[in-house]
Structure 1
Amino acid sequence: MSAEARLREQICLLAKSMFDRGLTVGSSGNISARLDADRLLVTPTGSCFCRLDPARLSVLDARMTLIDGDAPTKEVPLHAAFYETRPQQTGAVVHLHSSHSVALSVLPDTDPENMLPPITAYGVMKLGRVKLLPYFMPGDPAMGDAIRGLAGRRSAVVLANHGPVVAGKDLEAACYAMEELEETAKLAMLTRGLSPRLLNEAEIRGLVSKFNVEWDD
């Protein structure tokens, strides 16, 4: 099996796994992954994560122009912005409409600069600070502009009233970080109003130092 065929299969396998566990529903969510320096594989528009066809994934060139496969997701501007601003760190991008992260995004006291409380070590290690961006209409190119405005300083953002977007060094890394984001948001909602014991500044700094976490702007 070629490297491209393996990546096509992996996108569909991981997408179905996330769908089966309720991390996204219906035809929501999209994934992209680098095939090489000049091409991306992207999930098609209107497709459901539970039944993606590896042969029908969209292939985009470096200008984000479709060169093969079905028409791509309308959220391509989101993905393009991460590849442009974090080219060395980004081999894949995942965007979901996961319930707990969306719920947290609409609460009035959520910190837009660091929307996930430091509940677990892995939340800090895999995500760093997660930026909450404003609401945009789905498909609005301004979403990509908002990510470009971060100048590559964040690997994960949440679009208010919409859902999270995570960039990773490869497809597995992006999916695992996305799952960590949703799980941390779930824990934040479960412990809300209960005065949970969060990681303190020294504990966070220890993780940042040991695991080379992107934490400060």
Structure 2
Amino acid sequence: MSAEDAIRRELVAAAHSAFARGLTHGSTGNISARVDGDRVLMTPTGSSLGSVTADSLSVLELSGRHLDGPPPTKESFLHLAVLRARPDAGAIVHTHSTHAAAVSCLADLDRADVLPPYTAYYAMRVGAMPLIPYFPPGDRGLGDAAEHLAVGHRALLLANHGPIVAASDVGAAMDAAEEIEENARLFFLLTGRRTRPLSPEQVRALAPSRR
């Protein structure tokens, strides 16, 4: 099996898992993986992550040029922007998961870091997650905003939309996306109660950098 075939299988397994666990619904959500420095596999447009197959993935260059397969997700420009900003990233997961999307609709959020770090796993896998202002679907301004913020952050929350996270590979990106959803769930469960998020010192002890 070639390296690309292995990545295709990993991406499809992650897509099916995300759908089965309710991190996406309908045809929402998309996943991409870097094959080499300039080629990217991506889930296709109009597809449910629950039915994606290894041979139905789109192949693009980082520039956005479509190389092979069906047309990519309409949010391909967002994935490519984050991958350009983070040459260390091997994969991107973008979901519309319920609790994280609900957080993205709230007023008076800390735009520099939307969710408190309630757990060590959130602090380690996600770090600080800033809010990107609302952009209508397909607005390329979203890609510009994401590319700027992704330089210093692994995860971003898109206002009235959902989270996007970059990581070393598909498995790590999925783990981080799930931590975002679980931390958002805790956020709502704890609303109205006194809470004790991890302190900045505790976060620093877990990871030298939250980038």
Q: Taking structure 2 as the reference length, what is the TM-score of the superposition? A: 0.95
Aligned partner of residue 67 in structure 2, secondary structure: strand
Structure 2: distance between partners of 1:140 and 1:190: 33
2:151 maps to 1:152: yes
* RMSD of aligned alpha carbons: 1.3
Structure 1: distance between partners of 2:201 and 2:2: 46
Query: Partner of 1:75 in structure 2?
Result: 75
Q: In the alignment, is the contact (CA less than 8 A) between 2:104 and 2:159 conserved in 1?
A: yes
2:210 counterpart letter in structure 1: E
Aligned length: 211
2:183 counterpart letter in structure 1: T
Instruction: Within 5 Å, give how 1:74-153 maps onto structure 2.
Output: 74-87=74-87, 89-150=88-149, 152-153=151-152
Q: Taking structure 1 as the reference length, what is the TM-score of the superposition? A: 0.93
Q: In the alignment, is the contact (CA less than 8 A) between 2:62 and 2:80 conserved in 1?
A: no
Segments of structure 1 that go 5 or more residues without pairing to the other structure are: none
The sequence identity of aligned pairs, in percent, is 48
Aligned partner of residue 44 in structure 2, secondary structure: coil
Residues 68-91 of structure 1: CA distance to partner in whole angstroms, max 9, x if unpaired? 10000111111111111111x211
1:213 counterpart letter in structure 2: S
Segments of structure 2 that go 5 or more residues without pairing to the other structure are: none
2:118 counterpart letter in structure 1: I
Structure 1: distance between partners of 2:169 and 2:108: 33
Q: In the alignment, is the contact (CA less than 8 A) between 1:27 and 1:46 conserved in 2?
A: yes
2:20 maps to 1:24: no
Instruction: Within 5 Å, give how 1:165-176 maps onto structure 2.
Output: 165-176=164-175
Query: Deviation above 3 Å: which 4+ runs of structure 1?
Result: none
Q: In the alignment, is the contact (CA less than 8 A) between 1:125 and 1:213 conserved in 2?
A: no
2:146 counterpart letter in structure 1: I
Offset at 1:151?
6.1
